[in-house]
Each structure stands twice: as structure tokens, then as C-alpha cells.
Structure 1
Amino acid sequence: MPARPFAALFDMDGVLVDNTDFHINAWLQFAHRHGFPLTKDQYVANINGRVSADAMAYVFQRPIVGDELATLTEDKEGIYRELYGPHLQPAPGLLPFLDALKVANVKLAVGTSAPVSNVHFTLDGLPLRPYFDTIVDASMIQHGKPNPEIYLTAAEHVGVDPAYCVVFEDAFAGIEAGLRAGMNVIALATTHTRAELADSGAALIVDDFTSLTVDAVRALTTGG
């Protein structure tokens, strides 16, 4: 009997690209400009993997909405793109792994908390967009990670039951979102160490994509 189709759902920042340090530095610069001191530990615990509205609310300690949210978000993301632009590259092993998944007819999706401008910057800048059957970004959901909406939406768009989806994440909020969606999660040790990820609930922890195979990922879906 043929193996049941499954889907691979990827976060973008810290997964498709190993850019965490650039985001951290951009947030630190942005917060400093606006008179709000921010540390790396605060970023990791309260900002990484979350949609801009939640991240900005943490930095400014008040709700940020509407035009103000849009302006501040682009301010911060402009800093990030300026810092990371000269270094933009896919994560180690990503392209061969995506090629193998496509050959195996695996459905592929991106589920990212990033704003649309950064999605264009990354997926079109490399380019990675042609690999993916659907892209779900922050503008398409009501609730950011760790709410499972983004991954449930991605699964719906590719027509695959959540039990047959595997999520690739680097952030605790994203790992929780994948687990709450009823999916297995592969954690990449880019933002957090393997030790820090050990109790995250991830089914597998890897440094990058170089050692991953389609069969290893398929084995994590319900029924193998």
C-alpha cells in the first residue's frame, strides 16, 4: 500500500534561514532607539516566534495597533533587512532536503509570524518561494504563535490532516503551536541549544537539515 501523503510545514526565521542573531540585534537597536532597553534573554523569552503586535506590546508595555503598529513594524524590519541583507542564505542542507521532499510529492508550506515584507525579502530573495505549495504569514491569521492557528491554516491550505503534518521550528512559541495543532515537531537548534530544547516536546532535535531524510520525517507522522 502506498504511504499516505504528508506535509512538511516550516517556520521561516531561524529555520529556512539561520538569522536569529540578526533579528536579535535589530530588536535591540529598535528598542534602544525608542527608549526601551531590551536584552537578548528578554527577546528569546518574549518576542522570538511571536507576531509583531504581541512583540511590540511587550517592548512598549501597551497595546500597539493600526497605523502605529504598521509604522513601528517596518521600522524594526528595515533595521533587520539592512543587517541581514548581505548575509542572506538558506540554512545548511535546506535546498537538497526541499528537493528530496518535492521529489517525494510531499506537500510543503511556510507558517511564519513574520510580516509580508520579510516574507518577500527571504522567500523571493533566495529564492525559496517556488518550493512551497502555500505561504501563511502574519497577515492571514487572527492569533499568533503559540496559538496553533497558523499551522492548522497551513495544513488546511495543503489539504493534509494535521496528524500527517510535521512542523519545523526553532522557537518555543512555534513548537507549542505545532504541538497544539496535533502535529509532531522537529526543532532546529538555532535559537536555543539542544539542552534547552530537550523538554520542549519536539520529537526530534537537529542542528540543521543536512542529516534529515524524507523517510525520517515521514516516520514522525501518525501511522509512519
Structure 2
Amino acid sequence: MVKGVVFDMDGVLVDSEPFWQLAEMEVFPQHGVPITLEDTLKTQGLRIDHVVQFWFSRHPWQGATPRQVEQQILDAMVKVIQDKGQPMTGVLTTLDTLHQAGIPMAVATSSPHLLMEATLEKLAIGHYFRATCSAEHLPLGKPHPQVYLDAVDALNLHATECLAIEDSFNGLLAAKAARMHTLAIPDADHRGDPRYVIADRQYLSLEEFSLEHWL
């Protein structure tokens, strides 16, 4: 029985994955990285410092430090979230359903606190969450489970009592490693990915969410 729900943020609460792709495709070429739209899918769900390190190890650049490149991407992300951020389909209804049922909720994201706060403020949904956890300062981000374990602990529940809602495979691995129930909502580029079979359920969007499925 599910007693708590923990949401990933990017691609689950907010339609931000295209924004990440645009930000990366804007910033990385400035430093000589020949990144394509398809390339951005290789790092989906990873923490931004891991994304930058992924590309730096393959196309080392001179001048700007990896940390400076991270900040350039984050600055671009905050601006576009503030300008264009929209909730994913079914998010507001799902949050309200869980709230009305008295199910405590949390956010567990690989994104930095700055971006998480900007997103929750833009969508006006911060009041739904008892805890908001970022992997920003953890030794490892997803697919390591620590950010999910932190969120579950903040809800004062056991991981086996909680549902994680994820869009990326890296995030799904993190939730499974934490021993949570899992709901995967892959984006259009990953809906046919056979790896997502490890999820307990797959939806096309949160419009399909039914609390009865998890009680």
C-alpha cells in the first residue's frame, strides 16, 4: 500500500526536458562541443555537473571551467522556466487528488535548489509538498538512490511505502534501488525503450493516474 508519493521534477512536474536540451545546445557549442539534439538524450536524468563532466571528458575545452559552464546552463534554464514553464499534463489534477486523500508528497530531483524553487514558484505548486529534496549537494545524483531516500525520510515513511514517479531511466533506476514502488512516464523518445519494463506501471501521462491503482 502506498502511503506517500515522491515526484521527480523535470519531465514529470514541468515540461522542462526540451528546455534542458535547448540550453545545452546553446551553451556547449560555445565551448567547442558538437552536441546534437539526439546527443542530449544520452544524459537525460543526470545531475548537471555529471552532464557537463560527460561532455568535458569527450570534448575537453579550454577557458571556462566545467563549473562555469554548469552555471551558464542553469542561468539559461531559470530564465526559460520563468518565461515558459508549464505543468505536465495531469499534474495539477494528480496533486489535488493526492492532497484531498491526505497522501503526503515530496519532490526528489537531480536539479539544483535554484531551479527547483523557480519551477515550484512558476507553477504555484510548492504548497503541495511536505519536502523538496535536491541531489545538488549529495556525493552522487541519480541513478544513485540517495535523493529518494532523503525524500522518503522527510516524509517519515519507509521507501517500500512510497511511490516514485519518474520519466527518465536513470531516475527509475534510482527509485528501484531505493526499493520504492515505481511509475514511469517516459517521454516520446523513450516510450519504446524496453528497459522501462522494470517499472511497476507505465503511463503516457499523469492523466491516467488513479489512486486506487496504488492502494
Scaled by the length of structure 1, the TM-score of the pair is 0.86
Determine the C-alpha separation between the residues in 2 that align with 1:124 and 1:17: 12
CA distance in 2, matches of 1:20, 1:56: 16
User: Which of 56, 60, 63 is the aligned partner of 2:56?
Assistant: 60
C-alpha distance in 1 between matches for 2:149 and 2:194 = 23
TM-score, structure 2 normalization: 0.90
Q: How does 1:18-33 map to 2 (within 5 A)?
A: 18-33=15-30
Unpaired segments ≥5 residues, structure 2: none
For residue 35 of structure 1, what is the aligned residue in structure 2? 32
Aligned residues: 211
Q: For 2:115, which of 95, 114, 118 is the aligned residue?
A: 118
- 1:166 is aligned to 163
1:114 to partner: Cα distance: 0.5
1:57 to 1:115, Cα distance in 2 relative to 1, 3 A: same
Deviation sequence 1:65-104 (CA, Å, 0-9, x none): xx94543222102222334433211111111111110111
Does the C-alpha gap of structure 1 residues 186 and 118 become closer, same or farther in structure 2, counting only changes over 3 Å?
same
Q: Distance in 2 between matches of 1:199 and 1:113?
A: 19
The one-letter code sitting in structure 2 at the alignment partner of 1:163 is T
**How many angstroms apart in 2 are the aligned matches of 1:187 and 1:139?**
23
Kindly report which structure 2 residues correspond to 1:87-126, keeping only aligned pairs within 5 A, or say none.
87-126=84-123
In structure 1, what is the Cα distance between the partners aligned to 2:182 and 2:67?
31
Are 1:150 and 2:147 matched, yes or no?
yes
8 Å CA contact 1:197–1:205 kept in 2: the answer is no
Q: Compared with structure 1, are the counterparts of its residues 140 and 171 closer, same or farther at alpha carbon in structure 2 (3 Å cutoff)?
A: same
Q: CA deviation at 1:191?
A: 5.7
Question: Is 1:11 the counterpart of 2:27 in the alignment?
Answer: no
- 8 A contact 1:90–1:126 mirrored in 2: yes
**What's the counterpart of residue 207 of structure 2?**
210
The answer to whether the Cα contact below 8 Å between 2:46 and 2:141 also exists between their aligned partners in 1 is yes
Unmatched runs of 5 consecutive residues or more in structure 1 = 219-224
- Partner Cα distance (1:8, 1:48) in 2: 22
Distance 2:51 2:31 in 1: 14
* Structure 1 residue 5, shift from structure 2 partner: 6.0
